[in-house]
Amino acid sequence: MSEPAVLFNEKVCNGGKKIAIATLNAEKSLNSLSLEMVDLIAAQADKWEQDDDIIAILIDSAGDRAFAAGGDIRMLYESMVESGASYNAYATDFFSREYRLDYRLHNFPKPVITWGNGFVMGGGMGVFQGGDFRIVTENTRIAMPEIGVGLFPDVGGTWFLNQARGNTGLFLGLTGAQINASDAIYIGLADVFIPHGEKNAMLDALAAKDWSENAGANREQMGEILANLQEQYVDRLPAEQLKSHEQWIEDVCAGDNLEAISAAICAYNGDDKWLNRAVASHKAGCPVSIYLAYELNRRGKNLALADVFRLELIAALNCSKYGVFQEGVRAQIIEKDNAPKFRPPTLAELTPEIREQYLSPPWDGEHPLADL
């Protein structure tokens, strides 16, 4: 029998309280977030909330390579091929349940710790950003690379990229650029640095404390413990990649519209490897995805989190309906020819009508996330 997609354990603390542990367990697929994982964690969350002995949740992953390198989108691809341009019930179900879990984590009444070792991308970022204490390690590689597969920074990206320092979140969404632990803490997409090999030491430090049933007091004490641990390892933080480019990022993302920003990004002709990779990804990205990354970032600046997920569901299902997501997955994951033929092929050909159709509800009746 195969192992469960998520493993559940508990760490017993001094005084008998417990930390619940959920381990994403699909190492071969870099723990890509599947619907089975989503449902298992969602069901367990109901039990954790009701159990007074559980004082906090830790979500980590199997193996050393990835927290979660994205979403498990092969089934989504098959559903897109089958449904074509008609209503896709599976995609609606997948994205709705994934977004519900992300929203639940952001609003969970007990402290949530997310251990973001290795690749933390796409759907993995949705879970990671739901933590009260988002821990990064020397191996962390964070990115929202959806423009390459005909999607956009979803799973709450409209919200958390808007929380990032200055225009860095917008830049990450428009380029899919990877950042490390130092970058993530600097721009506000992570909270604590602890080396990966010290995870058990962290759990032992938490378990040594007495905990109450007051979630607020527990959250405060937990923050102090983790901050003290970070102080021990600060000299092991990796060299920053983003900070030295912050002013350039601010300048290029300060344009009055998407076309001006895109032109400024594409005009880079320096020899910095990190920036060159980011610029190349932007140039190769799906024009619809680049538009949505920009437009949702703009619209989402003052939206409540529930409204962010409602807006993202509309855009995600339209990416599925109109073919750009299917083509991106085909080229990058299914056939791996790395030559997607996105339609339309350029930003200049994105007419107002096309832009509007991607942000118009693709269903009749009530929004699937109306009750968030």
Check whether the bond before 111 is cis (ω within 30° of 0): no
Looking only at the bridges linking them, the beta strands covering 54-61 and 66-68 are: unpaired
For residue 330, the 8-state DSSP code is I
Taken in order 162, 127, 31, 203, the sign of the CA dihedral is positive
3-state secondary structure of 122: coil
Radius of gyration of the chain (CA): 20
Distances (CA, A) of 87 to 55, 80, 162: 42, 9, 30
Whole-angstrom Cα distance, residue 328 to residue 264? 25
For residue 128, CA distances in Å to 61, 111, 191, 216, 337 come to 11, 13, 11, 20, 30
- Active-site residue set: 71, 123, 146, 154
Whether 242 and 253 have beta carbons less than 8 Å apart is answered as no
Among 71, 79, 123, CA closest to 326:
79
DSSP label of 155: T
- Quickly tell me which residue has 């102090």 as its tokens: 224
Name which of 128, 156, 146 is nearest 369 in CA terms: 156
The Cα 109–Cα 216 span in angstroms is 9
Beta partners for residue 249, in sequence order: none
Q: Which amino acid is at 364?
A: D
